[in-house]
C-alpha cells in the first residue's frame, strides 16, 4: 500500500470520526432540547388519567359519606350538612330528632390521604375550643330598619 492510499484511509477515518462526533453532539443537543419522549408523554397521560379518576372518586365519596357505614354507625345522615371546604361536613348530631347533642366537623379522607394545611388549621381551632356562635341580622328588602322608622 502506497503513501497516497494510507493518506486516503487516514482522511476517510478522520472524516468518519468527525461525522460520528457531530452526530453524537447533535443527538445530545436534541435530547437536551426535547427532553421528553413519546413514551414519557404516554406515561404522563396515563398518570394524569389515574389521578383524575382518584380525584373524582374522592369527590363522589365525600358527597356520599353520610351514607357509608363509617358515618352511619355514629351519625344520622339527615344531621349532616355538606360544606366541601375547608371541611367536608358539619354534623348537627341529633338535629333530626329535635335535640342537638353536639356539633361535629367531619373531614372525609380515603386511602393514605392526609389533611391539607387549611384543614389542619380548622382542626386545631376546633380542638382548642376557638369556636363561637354568631347571629347576624341583615337589613334587606321588606325589613324595616331603624333609620326608616325614624323617618316614617
Q: Give the pLDDT confidence of 34-59 residue by residue, as tens digits.
A: 777 788 889 999 999 999 998 888 88
Pairing status of strand 102-106 against strand 80-82: unpaired
The answer for residues whose C-beta is within 8 angstroms of residue 89's C-beta and 6 or more apart is: 65, 66, 80, 81, 82, 83, 105, 106, 107, 108
More confident residue, 57 or 2: 57
pTM for the whole thing? 0.59
Alpha-carbon distance of 16 to 8, in angstroms, equals 12
Burial of 110 (0-12, 13-18, 19+ CB in 10 A): exposed
Amino acid at each position: 500500500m502506497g503513501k497516497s492510499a494510507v493518506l486516503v484511509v487516514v482522511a476517510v477515518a478522520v472524516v468518519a470520526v468527525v461525522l460520528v462526533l457531530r452526530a453524537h453532539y447533535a443527538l445530545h443537543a436534541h435530547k437536551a432540547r426535547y427532553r421528553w419522549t413519546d413514551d414519557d408523554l404516554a406515561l404522563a397521560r396515563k398518570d394524569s388519567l389515574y389521578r383524575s379518576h382518584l380525584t373524582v372518586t374522592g369527590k363522589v365519596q365525600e358527597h356520599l359519606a353520610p351514607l357509608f357505614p363509617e358515618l352511619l354507625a355514629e351519625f344520622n345522615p339527615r344531621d349532616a350538612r355538606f360544606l366541601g371546604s375547608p371541611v367536608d361536613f358539619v354534623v348537627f348530631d341529633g338535629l333530626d330528632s329535635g335535640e342537638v347533642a353536639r356539633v361535629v366537623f367531619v373531614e372525609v379522607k380515603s386511602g393514605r390521604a392526609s389533611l391539607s394545611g387549611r384543614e389542619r388549621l380548622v382542626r386545631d381551632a376546633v380542638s382548642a375550643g376557638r369556636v363561637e356562635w354568631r347571629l347576624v341580622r341583615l337589613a334587606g328588602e321588606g325589613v324595616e330598619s331603624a333609620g326608616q322608622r325614624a323617618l316614617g
